[in-house]
Amino acid sequence: MSQAIKKVVIAGGGTAGWMTAAALSKLMGGQIEVTLVESESIGTIGVGEATIPTLVFFHRLLGIDEAEFLRETQGTYKLGIRFENWRDVGKDYTHAFGVTGKDCWACGFQHFWMRARQLGLAEDFGEYCLERRAAEAHKFSHLPNIGLNYAFHMDASRYAAYLRKFSEGFGVQRVEGKIDQVQLHPHNGYIRALKLDSGQEVAGDFFIDCTGMRALLIEKALHTGYESWSHWLPCDSAVAVQTEAVEPPVPFTRSIAHESAWQWRIPLQNRVGNGLVYAGSYQSDESAREQLLENIRGKTLTDPLLIKFQTGRRRKQWHKNCLAVGLSSGFLEPLESTSIHLIQQNIVRFLRFFPQTEIHPREVDEFNRQCAFDMERIRDFIILHYKVTDRDDTEFWRHCRQMEIPDTLAAKIDMFRETGHVFREANELFVDSWQQVMLGQGLMPERYHPLVDSMSEQELAGFIQQIKRGVDQQVASLKDHNDYLANFVGGASKSHS
């Protein structure tokens, strides 16, 4: 297609649509015209309320004021995820956003920690991670040079509304209406226009599919195909409900494993988001609904919302003149809060590959390759939580322990078990997280790096104690999360360094 791309049409609103509109209008304003088509009568899932630290950088790219964002979305800070009953019933750990301890040029901190632990010189692995300690102490402060890695909990519906206002300030035109038909060019199969139920046609040069799991453009019109991962991730259903807050918000998400499901608990300023993700082959919708309602605190504010999904990805996320963003591109359960990260990854990657004069097949292929890599590595990380567990108390957990897993994940698990090493491949999202979760789930390496033995016991003890003292001092200097949040959102944003 050799035509300058001057008009981009976004199909669908919600978090995906308005994040896309915000980025395109702010970063490419004046070069392109952005139109977003959505219908007030079509609801969004709106339960993607926990994020990871990459959103902080997305906001900085767009120049979004953090205090204003938190105020508008009833947001709170997040330092990690507390995994309860995942390793075994009654055994908990926190996967925090920070780096644990200090690495050396040859090996990671976990190697020093393993030897120190054998000698009785080290405490739990998480004691040497600032973010984990801060989360468990319910503390937070902004530190210079992003000294404390953090993300957010937020109201997804309010976030979409906030970004709509932001985007319209940069010239985005919103069109109300349901998409009745996707019209294609007869000669090349590219999308020409969206025909709405009102009869109005919205033409464009490039189209971004943010229509959620319906995938009206990328799948129903362009038939790109879907690769299912349900044989590795058996959960295919969720039920979600909002409740009144009965205590101050904590700076972490809770993930609570049950007999054949797991429950999220996400604290906002004004309420709590709750949900249960489960496998329909092991648990009925009604029993899942009952289990969720029995394990929440506070009065319910909404009726339980049932969500059905198939884990996997679109075979092509960019095809012809259409890009899938959000749930239209695929689905990974929200265990590690990666949904919004994948939205922004596609947006930022698209901006890097933006086709000024024509769409080049080689660039499209490379874009799709990078998307597949991102989703497959996150997929592997999520499967890890189910596969590496001591739980065998139910048929569901026995299935997870025994199931086949992707070769890429099997290689990572085997390497860590045999050598204690975790290597980052390309721009893989998770790094320190791998050893945090593998150790948290009970996978202890058989050996540590021989370089560690070059330190005497006294030197090793001093090294470990120095890291612990440093973390202790930093945690002591942090503020109570709720107090800091109230002060920051209340207008003290200038203190942010």
Instruction: Give the DSSP per-residue string, 187-252.
Output: TT--EEEEEETTS-EEE-SEEEE--GGG-IIIIIIT---EEE-TTT----EEEEEEEE--SPPPSS
- Write down the pLDDT at residue 159: 96
Q: In this structure, are residues 335 and 252 in contact, taking their beta carbons and an 8 Å threshold?
A: no
Position 48 pLDDT exceeds 80: no
Position 32 pLDDT exceeds 60: yes
Position 39 pLDDT exceeds 50: yes
Q: Is 468 a catalytic residue?
A: no
Sequence length of the chain is 497
Position 490 pLDDT exceeds 70: yes
C-alpha span between 371 and 341 (Å, rounded): 12
- Write down the pLDDT at residue 72: 97
Position 141 pLDDT exceeds 50: yes
From 6, 7, 26, 78, the catalytic residue: 78
> Residue 416 corresponds to which amino acid?
F
Report which DSSP code applies to 14: H
Residue 215: CB atoms within 10 A of its CB come to 24
- Write down the pLDDT at residue 497: 33
C-alpha span between 288 and 306 (Å, rounded): 10
C-alpha span between 269 and 155 (Å, rounded): 9
Q: How confident is the model at residue 2 (pLDDT cuts 50, 70, 90)?
A: low
Domain 7-49+155-227+314-359 fold is FAD/NAD(P)-binding domain (3.50.50)
Q: Which pair of tokens denotes residue 427? A: 């721009």
C-alpha span between 93 and 86 (Å, rounded): 9
Q: In this structure, are residues 141 and 477 in contact, taking their beta carbons and an 8 Å threshold?
A: yes
Q: In this structure, are residues 11 and 179 in contact, taking their beta carbons and an 8 Å threshold?
A: yes
Determine phi and psi for 249, rounding to 5 degrees.
-70, 140
Q: How confident is the model at residue 42 (pLDDT cuts 50, 70, 90)?
A: confident
What mean pLDDT is predicted for residues 337-349? 96
Q: In Å, how far from its chain's centre is CA 215?
A: 20
Q: Domain locations in the chain?
A: 7-49+155-227+314-359, 100-140+380-477, 237-308
- In this predicted model, what pLDDT tens digit does every residue of 82-137 receive, in sequence order? 999 999 999 999 999 999 999 887 899 999 999 999 999 999 999 999 999 999 99
